[in-house]
Amino acid sequence: MLPLLALAASTAAPAKDVFINTPRTTLMLSVNEGETPRIHYYGTRLRPGQAREVYDAMSINYDAYPAFGRDSFDETALSVTHADGNMSTELAVTGMRTEGDVTIISMKDKKYDFFVDLCYKAGAASDVIETWSVLRNGEKKAVRLEQYASGVVAVRQEGAWLTHFHGNWGQEAQMTEEPLTPGLKTIVSHDGVRTAMGERAEVMLSLDGRPAENSGRVIGAALCWTGNYKLRIDTRGKHCHTLVAGIDDLHTAYTLRPGETFTTPELAMTYSTEGKGGVSRAFHRWGRAGKLHNGRALREILLNSWEGVYMNVNQPVCEQLMDGLKELGGELFVVDDGWFGRKYRRTYDDKALGDWVTDTEKLPDGIPALVRAAEARGLKFGIWIEPEMVNTTSELYEQHPDWVVAHPTRELSKGRGGTQLVLDMSNPKVQDFVVGIVDGLVRENPTLHYIKWDCNMSMQNFGSSYLTADRQSHLFVDYHLGLRKALERIRAAHPSLVIQLCASGGGRVNWGFMPYFDEFWVSDNTDAQQRLFIQWGTSHFFPPMAMAQHVSASPNHQTGRVIPLKFRFDVAMTGRLGMEMKPSDLSDDERSYAKRAMAFYKEIRPVVQLGDQYRLVSPYDGNGFCSEMFVSEDKSEAVFFCYKFQNYVGLDAPRWHMAGLDPDASYRLEEFGSTERQHFFEGKSFAGSFLMETGIDAPLSGQFASRVIRLRRQ
């Protein structure tokens, strides 16, 4: 008999019908001893007893963890070569239990001692369900995992659409929305190191046709894995869609010795009837509730030295940047690339990665002097590192040439600067080295507040001097398990250090990283117009509080575009605000505006960073407008942003319809920093329902016009 009674407490449905419940959703499975578990429903939370309706309505009936080898005509999650060479697996349920908020369905191959625990985690804090599997080899000899995905989402609905994100350096998170048609759609990362440098591991399935921001049924799914992944969306006929998501199965066969286990990364999913925005808000809340490191703390306004001075950092230059930041009201100064190297100095990007000692020609009194200078101005201090990388022109490479990812027989393919290589994180000595970089910086500078952790190369050479010949195919996975071990050690030792995730911009934006990082650099492209698109895409799955958005110089360094300071601030203020320029390059008028803008941001920061985001008018609509807003959890405060980034005669701003407000409350509207003519709404009060249904008129004139309107409940 199955030990199903433990579950009966959480559902009054017949024991074999398992409800994985969040406050507003249910994933329903059937779990019967001797059979494979099946998915039957994912949607709005079911009442006890509604399982019968699911069956009577002929809903989905799909393997919860399909294995290859028997009746496996569709996409599979698991494929194993057993110790005797048999490539087929047939899983059957042996039991089920709950541990805290995790439901664990135990399975075993019908003939072999190969075990799978299929896990579902669903808490009360958010509507996100996480699923993963634990694979255990109980056979007498090694087995080979050929495919070991995390989980499955199954949907039965004709006319469904897919939203996904792709891009490259400087154009991350570009959104594509398309109907799902029969066939297989595959989304992969083969970078090896920078998991989001290209396509992203997050998708939405809109079940009511063309995706809408604030209406319609939408499922969102995100694979939480820092390495290569594959999402397969298989559409059979017009109405059966299956998403199988997991670690990429190419060149990643993984051997389990007898007794060894492998735990797959989590696939996080949510369901909303409030459109894509509902999915986003669920993911944002899940992040703030724990998946994001330190997700409840407000993030500071910082100035990062990169676009201001690039590698030309030195004491006076940094102090000048600090003075500028201090005058504007900033809170944290970060010295970017260029501060290190002894034998080989980091004057250009072709040397010194790996040699994390101060370049005393640039900074004669070392980093402690920079920390003191920052603190004397009331600023906190942060520093850039790229710990997983090395240049061949470095002392580290001279000492440890075998620490790099490469095969010793091959000529090296080098990255940035023509000399960059990736360190082999599967090697415990390299893990110790990486942990030691952070420990060393904190030891030398006990008040160090922030680290920018960069990563600017893909795995261009395949091979590990650490892994044995028969385990070379573990590299793509063991690199990331090693990285995770290092990050866990760093977090155990330095829980309150703020760490930014950066990878040539947003090349690593993935939930697999976020338990260790407080925020991420959204893109090296700081052009405010392009940022509207990049940030729009990124916010679909990632909370604005974690999105580093910096005001940079005009003309912009990446595009040459000239954009007014107000517009640049208004775009940057929808996430974690910062600066990426020399404040001294601003005119007096601009500096005084920047000062007011930072003070204003501090006032709205709790709403932007801890509130709910509502995307309203999409820049992808092609009309040259964009708008979004943020509403505090108790709905007492909100901030509305709108932008115009195209210009031609007759291009009139749309009527702005707000969202997320309390319909019965009255809100007073107050605009910040407008260069537009003051409008009728200024200082007036409106019902939440009126602002959402009828909306307001707020014209925008010229190109790069924007408005920020603060709403306070009366």
- Residue 333 beta carbon to ligand DGJ: minimum distance, rounded to whole angstroms: 15
Fill in the per-residue mask, 17 to 56: x = in contact with ligand DGJ (CB under 6 A), - = not in contact.
Answer: ----------------------------------------
384 near ligand DGJ, rule: CB under 6 A: yes
As beta bridge partners, residue 246 has 149, 230
Can you tell me which of 270, 393, 394, 456 binds ligand DGJ, judged by CB under 6 A?
456
Q: Which is nearer to ligand DGJ, 414 or 679 (CB)?
A: 414
- For ligand DGJ, the closer of residues 516 and 704 by Cβ is 516
Residue 67 CB, nearest approach to ligand DGJ (Å) = 41
CB of 454 to ligand DGJ, least distance (A): 5
Which of 130, 337, 628, 637 touches ligand DGJ (CB under 6 A)? 337
In angstroms, what is the minimal distance from the CB of 556 to ligand DGJ? 14
How far apart CA 580 and CA 64 sit, in angstroms, is 47
β-sheet bridge partners, residue 30: 17, 38
**Identified binder of ligand DGJ from the candidate list 336, 350, 424, 628, rule CB under 6 A:** 336
Distance of CA 381 to the CA centre of its chain: 25
Cα gap 522→535, rounded to integer Å: 7
| Closer CB to ligand DGJ, 300 or 580, in the complex | 580
Looking at the Cβ atoms of 294 and 504, the one nearer to ligand DGJ is 504
Q: Give the nearer residue to ligand DGJ in terms of CB position, either 241 or 550.
A: 550
CB of 169 to ligand DGJ, least distance (A): 9
Site string for ligand DGJ, 415-454 (x = CB under 6 A): ---------------------------------------x
The phi, psi pair for 476, rounded to 5°, reads -60, -30
Residue number with CB closer to ligand DGJ (384 or 643): 384
Nearest distance from C-beta of residue 309 to ligand DGJ, angstroms: 11
Q: What's the CA gap between 286 and 278, in Å, rounded? A: 12
Task: Single out the segment in contact with ligand DGJ by CB under 6 A; choices: 53-61, 499-507, 654-662, 696-704.
Answer: 499-507
**Token pair 């932008």: residue:** 643
Segment interacting with ligand DGJ, rule: CB under 6 A, options 170-178, 322-330, 497-505, 552-560: 497-505
- List 306, 333, 516, 625, residue binding ligand DGJ (CB under 6 A): 306
Burial class (CB in 10 A: 0-12, 13-18, 19+), 52: exposed
* 3-class state of residue 548 by DSSP: strand
* Helix spans in 555-621 (H): 565-572, 588-610
Which residue's entry shows tokens 């030295």?
305
Between 169 and 262, CB nearer to ligand DGJ: 169
Q: Tokens representing 228?
A: 């290569």
How many residues interact with ligand DGJ (rule CB under 6 A)? 11
CA terminus-to-terminus distance, the chain: 60
Stretch of 324-332, 500-508, 628-636, 650-658 lying at the interface with ligand DGJ (CB under 6 A)? 500-508
What are the C-alpha distances in Å from 496 to residues 164, 315, 493, 565?
33, 26, 9, 33
Least Å distance, CB 443 to ligand DGJ, is 23
Residues in contact with ligand DGJ, shown as a per-residue x/- string from 162 to 181 under the rule CB under 6 A: --------------------
Q: How many Å apart are CA 378 and CA 332, to the nearest integer?
A: 9
CA–CA dist 589, 598 (Å, integer): 14
Choose between 335 and 405: whose C-beta lies nearer to ligand DGJ.
Answer: 335
What's the rounded Cα separation, in Å, for the pair 177 and 205?
10
Query: How many whole angstroms separate alpha carbon 685 and alpha carbon 661?
Result: 13
Looking at residue 389, its amino acid is M
Contact map string, positions 257 to 296, toward ligand DGJ, x by CB under 6 A: ----------------------------------------
Q: Closest CB to ligand DGJ belongs to which residue?
A: 337
**Which residues lie across from 67 on neighbouring strands?**
78
CA-only gyration radius of the chain, Å: 26
Pick the closer one to ligand DGJ by CB: 76 or 391.
Answer: 391
Per-residue mark of binding to ligand DGJ, 510-549 (x: CB under 6 A): -----------x--x-------------------------
CB closer to ligand DGJ, 161 vs 521: 521
Distances (CA, A) of 577 to 26, 200, 260, 281: 37, 24, 46, 20
Q: At what angle do helices 315-328 and 366-376 cross, to 10 degrees?
A: 20
Closest CB to ligand DGJ among residues 114, 384: 384
Closest CA to 706 of 651, 626, 650: 626
Q: Which of 504, 535, 554, 706 binds ligand DGJ (CB under 6 A)?
A: 504
Concatenate the DSSP letters of all residues of 41-107 into one string.
EEEEPPPTTTHHHHHHTT---EESS-BTTSS--S--SEEEE-TTS-----EEEEEEEEETTEEEEEE
What's the closest the beta carbon of residue 547 comes to ligand DGJ, in angstroms? 14
- Cβ at position 196, least distance to ligand DGJ in Å: 13
109 vs 191 by CB, closer to ligand DGJ: 191
For ligand DGJ, the binding residue among 211, 220, 295, 505 (CB under 6 A) is 505
Output the smallest distance, CB 391 to ligand DGJ, in A: 12
Residue 525 Cβ vs ligand DGJ, minimum distance, rounded to whole Å: 10
CA neighbor of 329 nearest in space, from 539, 118, 679, 577: 577
Q: Which is nearer to ligand DGJ, 169 or 620 (CB)?
A: 169
The CA–CA distances, whole Å, from 675 to 619, 671, 707 equal: 22, 10, 9
Closer to ligand DGJ by Cβ: residue 456 or 574: 456
Q: In a 10 Å sphere around its CB, with 0-12 CB exposed, 13-18 middle and 19+ buried, how is residue 552 labelled?
A: buried
Q: Are strands 240-247 and 174-179 parallel, antiparallel or unpaired?
A: unpaired
Least distance from ligand DGJ to the Cβ atom of residue 440, Å: 20
Q: Which residue ranges make up the site for ligand DGJ (CB under 6 A)?
A: 306, 336-337, 384, 454, 456, 502, 504-505, 521, 524
